[in-house]
């Protein structure tokens, strides 16, 4: 008997509550990864671009962008979790911990914490708690993620539904401030904006003005770069048989694009501390021009710190419609069809 040596990936019925998925192929981060991230998204946060700037804040050098850490950690999970995904549905309770620098090696594991079969029995939702670790075993990132995954056999029995209780937001007093970080030397002439934590008001809405068009080559490169092998992103032949008839843009691509666009108006929101939730509300495709705006949802002083505060920010990314086309329509029950992403996160910002 011939035994297949290839893996078709896990289908919904392959997952079990309490199962831990150890993800293969740890990845050493290089300066090339940072340059390619910049080429893909154009992010301009000085904290990640200039060693002297980061050193003026007490760090040994510029750390890699937070969402680059996210991309690499998530990419590790795809072959085990979402190779047969129909859609990535969202993230919650995402905390960034130890900073990552070129030369660090990242890996991840994902315990399964929830399962729920969809009506009709052709697919189900898998919930995991992914933990990203560096070569010293330090946690760099952890988050809850849920993915809609196809079933191998629609007649296989449904598991007892388990849906984890996901908090609405990460508590501000649990946010991690990296060791050694000190805002004493923060230079707004180098960051590109004079507005600091004290200058933002809850309820304020910031139009980031600029748009960026997604090229087919860009999102395909991003999927390969972060080793995201999900067929919905990489296989144009398979995608023709899908309900969209074409490849989907990797959801993390839209997150990083929205974050990059937010620099215009939030240049000093230099460090993502946590992500409360990220919902991919509509598919993105090559040719879409992405715009973004942000609402300041909350402000919090950091316990024991006079130099940093935290802003809770809700960034909405849309395609082919700038901010002015959305007068107040931001709630989950009123998403416009052009809304691609609802991204709710805490960012650190220097205080006056």
The string of pLDDT tens digits covering residues 226-249 is: 988 788 888 889 888 888 889 989
pTM: 0.92
- Tell me the backbone φ, ψ of residue 35, rounded to 5 degrees: -65, -40
Please report, for the chain, the start and end positions of each structural domain, with discontinuous segments joined by +: 12-350
Q: What is the CATH number of domain 12-350?
A: 3.10.129.10
Checking if the pLDDT of 313 tops 90, the result is yes
pLDDT tens by residue, 112-161 = 999 999 999 999 999 999 999 999 999 999 999 999 999 999 999 999 99
Number of H helices and E strands in the chain, helices first, is: 10, 12
Q: Which residue, 24, 27, 49, 47, is CA-closest to 39? A: 49
How many CA atoms lie less than 13 Å away from 163 in the CB half-sphere? 7
* Residues facing 85 on adjacent strands: 149
The pLDDT of residue 48 is 97
Does residue 264 sit in helix, strand or coil?
helix
Asked if residue 333 has pLDDT above 80, the reply is no
- CA 198, 199, 204: angle at the middle one, nearest 5? 120
At residue 266, the 3 state secondary structure works out as helix
């Amino acid at each position: 008997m011939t035994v297949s040596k290839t893996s078709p990936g896990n289908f919904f019925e392959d997952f079990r509550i309490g199962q831990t998925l150890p993800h293969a192929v740890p990845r050493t981060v290089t300066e090339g990864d940072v340059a390619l991230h910049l080429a893909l998204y154009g992010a301009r946060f000085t904290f990640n671009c200039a060693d002297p700037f980061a050193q003026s804040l007490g760090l040994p050098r510029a750390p890699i962008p937070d969402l680059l850490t996210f991309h690499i950690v998530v990419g590790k999970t795809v072959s085990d979790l979402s190779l047969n995904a129909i859609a990535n549905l969202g993230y919650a309770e995402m905390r960034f911990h130890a900073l990552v620098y070129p030369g660090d090696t990242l890996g991840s594991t994902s315990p399964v914490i929830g399962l729920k079969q969809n009506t009709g029995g052709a697919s189900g939702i898998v919930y995991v708690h992914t933990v990203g670790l560096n070569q010293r075993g330090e946690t760099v990132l952890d988050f809850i993620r849920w993915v809609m995954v196809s079933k191998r056999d629609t007649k296989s029995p449904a598991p007892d539904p388990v849906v984890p209780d996901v908090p609405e937001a990460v508590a501000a007093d649990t946010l991690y401030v990296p060791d050694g970080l000190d805002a004493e030397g923060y230079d707004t002439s180098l960051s590109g904006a004079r507005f600091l934590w004290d200058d933002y008001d809850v309820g304020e809405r910031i139009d980031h003005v600029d748009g960026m068009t997604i090229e087919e080559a860009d999102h395909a490169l991003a999927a390969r770069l972060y080793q995201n092998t999900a067929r919905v992103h990489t296989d144009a032949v398979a995608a023709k048989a899908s309900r969209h008839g074409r490849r989907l843009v990797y959801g993390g691509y839209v997150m990083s694009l929205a974050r990059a666009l937010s620099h215009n108006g939030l240049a000093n929101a230099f460090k993502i501390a946590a992500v409360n939730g990220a919902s991919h509300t509509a598919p993105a495709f090559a040719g879409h021009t992405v715009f973004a705006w942000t609402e300041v949802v909350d402000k919090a002083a950091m316990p024991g710190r006079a130099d940093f505060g935290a802003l809770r920010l809700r960034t909405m990314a849309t395609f082919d419609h700038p901010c002015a086309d959305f007068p107040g329509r931001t709630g989950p029950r009123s998403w416009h069809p052009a809304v691609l992403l609802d991204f709710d996160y805490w960012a650190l910002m220097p205080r006056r």
